[in-house]
Structure 1
Amino acid sequence: MPTPSTRSRPRPASVEAGPTLDLDRYVPALITFIANKLSNSATAFYQRQFGVNVTEWRIMSLLAIEPGIPASRICHVIGFDKGPVSRTLAGLEKRGLVSIRTDPNDGRTHSISLTAKGRSTHDKVIVAALDRERRLLSCLNKDEREVLIGLVRRLHENLDAVTGSTET
């Protein structure tokens, strides 16, 4: 069921009138709202079905793609700070889902990989994750899905326009 438009709700009288966002058109809010709702529902579902939360799943899915990567790479790709990634990795290691080894070429760097148990869990969760994606995108035809993917990739590549050090 679609959510009602924010424009259809009466606004309470304010002391001072000023600009407001149109939440039906403000792209950063729309992306954030979608991401928050997807993450919250994924955490609840993945935790209940597979014993992992969405942050753990994101890290495990990246480790399946890039086995042996360091934590810094995980932080860069996923966009998380080092602290939460380190805590999540410690929990995954304690549960036997990942292996963390010191890199023999650089003692300051660690190589992180899924264990057999972690890979098995990943292989179960990915089926549910891809089904969730399929259901989310089911309102779009194939061409629309391809356009959406292209647009979202371009936005991702343009993030430096608002996150880079050149912003004033």
Structure 2
Amino acid sequence: MTARSVSRKPNRKASERPEARGPTLDLERYVPAFITFIANKLSNSATAFYQGHFGVNVTEWRMMSLLAIEPGISAARICEVIGFNKGPVSRTLADMQQRGLIAIRTDPDDGRTHSISLTAKGRATHDKVIVAALERERRLMSCLNKSEQEVLIDLLRRLHDNLDAVTGDKV
């Protein structure tokens, strides 16, 4: 018996061989997978960090950061920008309101919509989390030089602007 035959894997049935199963993705080159894997890992680690240090999860942080940029926006606007469904957004907002992080008021111009804003407690929490969020971004991007960072941001923005090519939605 040669060393070659000893190290060989046992024969598999043709249906178990990768070449017999049909096409597969190259996960080293498939962009949607890369984006998803990066987003999942960033979200999971951010939730663990933000929850442990500031008492908010990454979903709450995303909403808080948007409310700091656009005070008084509606839940529909949050869904539009962040890309979340209405149900989870409504539940998260209700929880944030109960914890005193946001205020939800009926819009005086349209009684069917609500204006959502950070409270003083919410703004103070935001101002603590943003420091950590920007540091996490800096560390993530540290493998790229400044010009590469700008190229990446431009490319990501262009992909975001082109999402309707695959979703059918205006993003």
Distance 2:63 2:21 in 1: 45
Tell me the SS of whatever aligns to 2:142: helix
Which residue of the partner structure matches residue 73 of structure 2?
Answer: 69
Please give the per-residue CA displacement for 1:109-151, whole angstroms capped at 9, x wherever unaligned: 0000000000000000000000000000000000000000000
Which residue of the partner structure matches residue 108 of structure 2?
Answer: 104
TM-score (norm 2): 0.88
Letter in 1 for 2:40: N
Which residue of the partner structure matches residue 59 of structure 1?
Answer: 63
Q: What fraction of aligned residue pairs are identical, expressed as a percent?
A: 79
Unaligned 5+ runs, structure 2: 1-8
Letter in 2 for 1:128: A
Distance 2:36 2:107 in 1: 36
Tell me the SS of whatever aligns to 1:39: helix
Distance 1:150 1:108 in 2: 37
Give the greater-gyration-radius structure (CA): 2
Report the RMSD for the aligned CA atoms in angstroms: 1.5
The reply on whether 1:27 has 2:24 as its aligned counterpart is no
Which residue of the partner structure matches residue 145 of structure 2?
Answer: 141
Unaligned 5+ runs, structure 1: 1-9
- Give the total of aligned pairs: 155
1:88-103 superposed matches below 5 A: 88-103=92-107
Instruction: Could you list the structure 1 runs, at least 4 aligned residues long, displaced by more than 2 angstroms after superposition.
Output: none
The reply on whether 1:123 has 2:127 as its aligned counterpart is yes
1:5-16 superposed matches below 5 A: 15=15, 16=20
1:153-168 superposed matches below 5 A: 153-164=157-168
Q: 1:78 aligns with which of 82, 90, 94?
A: 82
TM-score (norm 1): 0.90
